[in-house]
Structure 1
Amino acid sequence: MVSTERAKTPRAKKPPRTKPPRDGRMSLGAHLVELRKRLFLAAISVVVGMIVGWILSDYVLEALRLPIEELAAEQGRVASLNFTDVSSAFDLRLQIAFTVGVVVSSPFWLYQLWAFMVPGMKKKEKQYAVGFVAAAVPLFLAGCAAGWFVLPHMVVLLTGFAPQDTTAIISARVYYDFVLKLVLAIGIAFVLPVFLVLLNFAGVLSARAILKSWRIAILAITLFTALATPAADVMSMFLLAIPMVLLYFGAAGIAALNDRRRAKRLAAIESELDV
């Protein structure tokens, strides 16, 4: 007797779901998707910050005009910002809005960058990164404040080379670029000691090597502050140089403590191996 029942065909099994690895590793495609997501969120935060920067652009322009007014009062000459073409005023406000937007939104886009880098970091690397950001941000802001402090002196000094009975008609766009570069340069200079500490923690630079170059470092700091402040204003030069020198020796002190801790750890490991 032949059975009329049809043979049951086995159903295709669904492929098992792949769980993300426990060690935090991701595929290249997942990395690209994560990067696109983080960049999109960072761009949104910058755009929102630019709206705030556009609202504050009037106050920023008023602050930028103060050194020009001081120049006119001190040198007794006509001095004013000049907008060279029809769209230059709008372009300058847009540039100010972008700069303020990047600064205002920096906590958010820095967090996005941090969140993207964290899965690929080891525990010790995460600690180094957190310490670097925690120290670099306040120092950078302090350096920018110091740059803003010496800005009026720079404007008066550089325009003082013009002949008497002349008019200082300063391009607004060029002037803003000058201010931005000066403030950023001094802000970055204040962060350089943090890089020395980071190189020491990474085992690239020792505290002895940092202290050995203290004469060159002080000479470089003196030359930098002499360029950033007028020669006649020695007080401003010292007010800018003293914190930079202290930061340099502070970095050397932290590096020395780390070298001592590292030496004790190596000595303990060697004593255990000798037993």
Structure 2
Amino acid sequence: MLKSARKKPRDPEGRMPLVEHLRELRNRLVKALLAIVPLTILALFFAKDIAEFISAPVPTCASESEAAAQAGRCAVLSQVGLTSPFSTYMKVSLMAALVAAAPVWLYQLWAFVAPGLHRHEKKYALSVVGIGTPLFLLGAYLAHWILPFAVKTLLGFSISGSVNYITVDDMIDISVKMTLAFGLAFQLPIVLALLNIGGVLSGQRMLGWWRPMVMIIAVFSAVVTPTDPMSMIALAVPMTALYFGAVIFSLINDRRRGRAQGPELSDDEASDLDLTPEDIGEVEAVPAPRALPEQASAERVNGYDDVT
């Protein structure tokens, strides 16, 4: 006789044994792969168009003689090796599938983490996803806009009479790196806002750090972007604006929190203590202890003599 398998009720706080966590992780990964693999196969039919779009910022030359005559103003786009075209197609297809399937695997990641979060933590996490995604896309668009200027600047360092060979794989790598760098850099205000909400950083402290933070942003922009001043400024200016936006949010949040919690005390100030007992009008008299049986007598008070 078959026993009907009943699912165990889930813990409301999301607690489960380690084996259950691993099984849940496996299921989430399988569901994410079921979305990525078909999209990768579909992207193979458009891999050539995607590769041409990624390599479009390269000013290509028709021949090596033209590249030598242009003195670094153009380059020869090449693919080295017999298997290079196929590996490029696979890399481009996988990258496109990861981007297209982002809603699916992000949801699976959220579904795996969400049971262990409290209600207010879920609210903050959804806010981070809702705000962080447009910021990441904005940073990715800015990277794609800067990339043609960066390529021309780098080609400008070529020696006269030399020929530059740029492979499609190199363009894919630099495009992915710049996209990730710009997209993650635009997550700075979200990190600062979460630190403020968690009580780690105050708005006044962040405002006091504006000079070193502007310097750090400038150095970061110079390291991430190529040696083009325009690219550096194009990244540093929006990052600085986002930093001050996070400072303004933190100042408003601190003021709102201060109104909810009342005035804060300084480190060397003691708070007033209320020593008034509760329900003072209903204090009952404490009954006297009863005398012990072997000591009870008329001369003893409450069972004790004057010696004890």
- Report the TM-score when normalising by structure 2: 0.74
Q: How does 1:167-206 map to 2 (within 5 A)?
A: 167-206=163-202
Matched residue, 1:166: 162
Q: Deviations over 1:93-134 (max 9, x none)?
A: 111111111111011110011111111110111111111111
Q: By how many angstroms is 1:239 displaced?
A: 3.9
Aligned Cα RMSD in Å? 2.9
Return the match for 1:151 from 134, 147, 150: 147
Classify the secondary structure of the residue corresponding to 2:81: coil
1:242 maps to which of 229, 237, 241: 237
Change in 2 beyond 3 A, CA 1:107/1:164: same
Q: Which moved more, 1:173-182 or 1:216-225?
A: 216-225
* Percent pairwise identity: 37
Normalised TM-score (structure 1) = 0.83
What's the offset of the Cα at 1:220?
Answer: 2.6
1:269–1:196 CA distance, 2 compared to 1 (3 A): closer
Query: 2:26 is aligned with what amino acid?
Result: R
Q: 1:211 to 1:75 in 2, by over 3 A?
A: farther
Partner of 1:90: 86
Q: Counterparts of 1:20 and 1:223 in 2: how far apart (Å)?
A: 49
Any gaps of 5 or more consecutive residues in structure 2? 1-5, 62-66, 266-270, 277-308
Report if aligned partners of 1:77, 1:168 keep a CA contact under 8 Å in 2.
no
Rounded to whole Å, the distance in 2 between the matches of 1:199 and 1:181 is 27
Match of 2:28 among 38, 44, 49: 38
Aligned to 1:267: 262
Question: Residue 50 of structure 2: which of 55, 60, 71 is its match?
Answer: 60
Q: Which structure's CA Rg is the greater one?
A: 2
After TM superposition, give the deviation of residue 209 of structure 1 in Å: 2.0
Residue 207 of structure 1, CA deviation: 1.3
Residue equivalent to 2:219? 223
CA distance change for structure 1 residues 269 and 123 in 2, over 3 Å: closer, same or farther? farther
Distance 2:154 2:48 in 1: 26
Alpha-carbon contact 1:225-1:240 (below 8 Å) kept: yes
SS of the aligned residue for 1:67 comes to: coil
Structure 1 portions without partners, runs of 5+: 1-15
The number of residues matched between the two structures is 258
Residue aligned with 2:59, SS: helix
Q: Is residue 71–residue 162 contact of structure 2 (8 Å, CA) maintained in 1? A: no
In structure 2, what is the Cα distance between the partners aligned to 1:253 and 1:23? 35
In structure 1, C-alpha distance between the alignment counterparts of 2:13 and 2:184, rounded to whole Å: 36
Q: SS where residue 204 of structure 1 aligns? A: coil
3-state DSSP class of the match of 2:245? helix
